[in-house]
Amino acid sequence: MSLADVKPYEIERADLYERRRWWFGMTLGDMFDKACDIYPDKEALVGEDKRYTYQQLRRLVENMAYNLLQEGFKKGDTVLLQAPNWPEFVISYFALQKAGLVLVLLTINHTAREIAHLADLTQPKGWILPGRYRKTDFMPIIEKVRDQNVDLEKIILLREKKRQGFLNFDNLVETDADRENIQSVLAKARPDPRDVCQILPSGGTTGLPKGAPRTHNDYICNLEYLAKAWDVNSTDKILVASTVGHNLALVACVTPSVFHGATLVLLDSTYPEDFCKVVQKEKITCTGLVPTLISRIVNHGDLDQYDLSSMQRIYVGASNSPPELVRKVEQNIGARYINAFGMVEGPLAQSRPYDSPEVRQQTIGRPCCPYEDFVTLNAFAEINPRGVEGELAGRGPGIFTGYLKHPQANQESFTSDGYFRTGDLAVIDEQGYIRITGRIKDIIIRGGENIAARDVEDLISSHPKVEYIAAVGMPDKDLGEQVCAYVKLVSGERVDDQELIEYLIKLEAAKHLIPARFEFLDKIPLTAAGKADKKILRKDIEDKLRNEA
């Protein structure tokens, strides 16, 4: 990938960010080294029955970084990283940073089509992934992607015996090379802090992902202020149970744990009982989750059988957190709920641990970085006064400069004065607290009336028997669209359409917010980001209506 494809920051803004020290001027590799220097004997990483101190982790990271360069990778080459919640992810992530390589972050659930698209976009020279994970055999996927990308020369397999034509992870973390020589080679490979460190897929429920290039400077700005906003510190034990290949886990848990010298614990399971066992065993103090996962945990029937008293803070982002969910988590688990908003492009906002219950339940708090400017825009891309709903937009040292090789998206996503448009509807009050009111594209248009899916979801999710709800528009001959609610109930509970409708009437919900149809599912389909996959749900209801006609 040519770095010429990445738009640089305006010189005046970059100079301002560096002069004010909003950018530290260090790389993610430097950040890793600093933690290892300060906390060499402290436990850094726990996962899969393996435990590493910072000193032990550093040796593995440096060995792998050195060996990657010996294998022919060159500074600036791109490498796909696709791993589950295993220690190998963390080792590979920082090895790529130390080697001056640019990683392309993939979740373990990305499809062959999505991977091939991202590979075509980023032209990777390598790919790190397991040969098999649970029921998925990645070998056919590897061959398919490789056939479409001639530059993809080296495949590094995790937890696999030696295969001809492939590199083995276990071999890459071992070397007999002299430490002084390793340090010298890595020093020459060190990138500039203004260089791109990673390409993050910008997910969504439609189409193929775009690539968001992030530099060392702007990403460290993100993780520093996010971590400070929810009080991450060196005494924390941070649990990652959401997929580590998603930016929520990376920016809220993995990189802040290193920035502050905390202990990172990886869990390769989303079962509530496994989560509770690890919290109890490791005395976890904080974690980062998506609403679907924390909802599943707090509604687990045996929750009171576990000692979760060590848990202090739970960061929840990637999609809307209904007020009732916030209340229930704080009451039943006893941890402070951090109501968060984040995008791979850089905008980050969240409630603080000391915020009032109203702020935590009704808003996403304030921007994490105090040096970023968040506004709402009207239909003409003009900045609204405070208190007026509009499209949320942001500008500052932690926000990226544009998508990779996508001029049309960049033209649509940025205002003329450099504000990035998030696509979310919001209101910002006089104190700077942000309340998300809907998604510009997540609007159901019923008889010419715009209905925010979030309004419907907030109402229904407050029902004690509802674990998760996703509202979508379904075609209607007379009104254009009607509201269809896909509902997942708490395990063991039963409820029908009429009970939910009566509940909404009791809440005095507006008529247009009462769904015309309910669909009950045992499992809500999710995107790689942990959000309800509304593309699948819309197709499902369209198919059902077609079959019923």
Higher pLDDT, 479 or 187: 187
Structural domain contains residue 236: no
Structural domain contains residue 264: no
Query: Based on the domain organization, do 431 and 452 belong to the same domain?
Result: no
447 and 276 in contact (C-beta within 8 Å)? no
Query: Based on the domain organization, do 428 and 491 belong to the same domain?
Result: no
Query: Based on the domain organization, do 198 and 155 belong to the same domain?
Result: yes
Domain final position from 439, 459, 488: 439
Distance CA 514, CA 500 (A): 9
Structural domain contains residue 278: no
pLDDT of residue 203: 62
pLDDT of residue 204: 46
CATH number of the domain where residue 467 is located: 3.30.300.30
Nearest to residue 447, comparing CAs of 471, 411, 473, 409? Answer: 473
CATH number of the domain where residue 411 is located: 2.30.38.10
- Residue 209's pLDDT band, with cuts at 50, 70 and 90, is confident
pTM of the model: 0.87
Helix (H, G, I), strand (E, B) or coil at 479: coil
Residue-wise pLDDT for 521-546, tens only, equals 999 999 877 889 998 999 999 999 99
State what percent of residues in the chain have pLDDT above 90. 86
Nearest to residue 404, comparing CAs of 215, 207, 223? Answer: 215
Structural domain contains residue 280: no
Place of tokens 């890793």: 32
Domain final position from 439, 467, 494: 439
The first and second tokens of residue 166, run together, are 């492939």
The conformation of residue 526, written as its DSSP 8-state character, comes to B
Question: How many domains, in total, are found in the chain?
Answer: 3
Q: How many CB atoms are located within 10 Å of the residue 204 CB? A: 16
Query: Based on the domain organization, do 175 and 323 belong to the same domain?
Result: no
Domain final position from 390, 411, 439: 439
Nearest to residue 76, comparing CAs of 128, 17, 6? Answer: 6
417 and 396 in contact (C-beta within 8 Å)? no
Place of tokens 């940025």: 414
Distance CA 263, CA 128 (A): 24
State what percent of residues in the chain have pLDDT above 70. 98
Quote the mean pLDDT of the chain: 94
Query: Based on the domain organization, do 327 and 400 belong to the same domain?
Result: yes
CATH number of the domain where residue 140 is located: 3.40.50.980
Query: Based on the domain organization, do 195 and 77 belong to the same domain?
Result: yes
Report the side by side order of strands in the sheet with 517-520. 466-476, 480-489, 517-520
CA distances from 370 to 22, 146, 183, 226, 486 (A): 10, 44, 36, 11, 38
Nearest to residue 374, comparing CAs of 383, 114, 21? Answer: 383
> What are the φ and ψ backbone dihedral angles of 473, each rounded to 5 degrees?
-85, 135
Residue-wise pLDDT for 86-141, tens only, equals 999 999 999 999 999 999 999 998 888 889 999 999 999 999 999 999 999 999 99
Q: Which helix (H) or strand (E) holds 335?
A: none
Structural domain contains residue 234: no
| Region 459-471 average pLDDT | 95
Structural domain contains residue 521: yes
Beta-bridge mates of residue 426: 390, 436
Q: CA end-to-end span of the chain, whole Å? A: 50
459 and 513 in contact (C-beta within 8 Å)? yes
pLDDT of residue 205: 40
- Residue 318's pLDDT band, with cuts at 50, 70 and 90, is confident
pLDDT at residue 215 tops 90: yes
Residue-wise pLDDT for 157-206, tens only, equals 999 988 999 999 999 999 999 999 999 999 999 999 999 999 999 864 44
| Region 259-280 average pLDDT | 97
Query: Based on the domain organization, do 392 and 489 belong to the same domain?
Result: no
pLDDT of residue 320: 83
- Tallying the residues shown for the chain, one arrives at 549
Helix (H, G, I), strand (E, B) or coil at 507: coil
pLDDT at residue 216 tops 80: yes
Structural domain contains residue 519: yes
Query: Based on the domain organization, do 117 and 168 belong to the same domain?
Result: yes
> Whole domain around residue 423: which residue ranges?
316-439
Query: Based on the domain organization, do 399 and 430 belong to the same domain?
Result: yes
Residue-wise pLDDT for 228-265, tens only, equals 999 999 999 999 999 999 999 999 999 999 999 999 99
530 and 242 in contact (C-beta within 8 Å)? yes
Helix (H, G, I), strand (E, B) or coil at 429: coil
Query: Based on the domain organization, do 375 and 524 belong to the same domain?
Result: no
Query: Based on the domain organization, do 463 and 352 belong to the same domain?
Result: no
Query: Based on the domain organization, do 153 and 84 belong to the same domain?
Result: yes
pLDDT of residue 292: 84
Coarse DSSP helix, strand, coil percentages of the chain, rounded to the nearest 5 percent? 35, 25, 40
Residue-wise pLDDT for 25-79, tens only, equals 999 999 999 999 999 999 999 998 899 999 999 999 999 999 999 999 999 999 9
Query: Cβ-count burial of 20 within 10 angstroms (0-12 exposed, 13-18 middle, 19+ buried)?
Result: exposed
Place of tokens 């775009």: 210
Structural domain contains residue 265: no
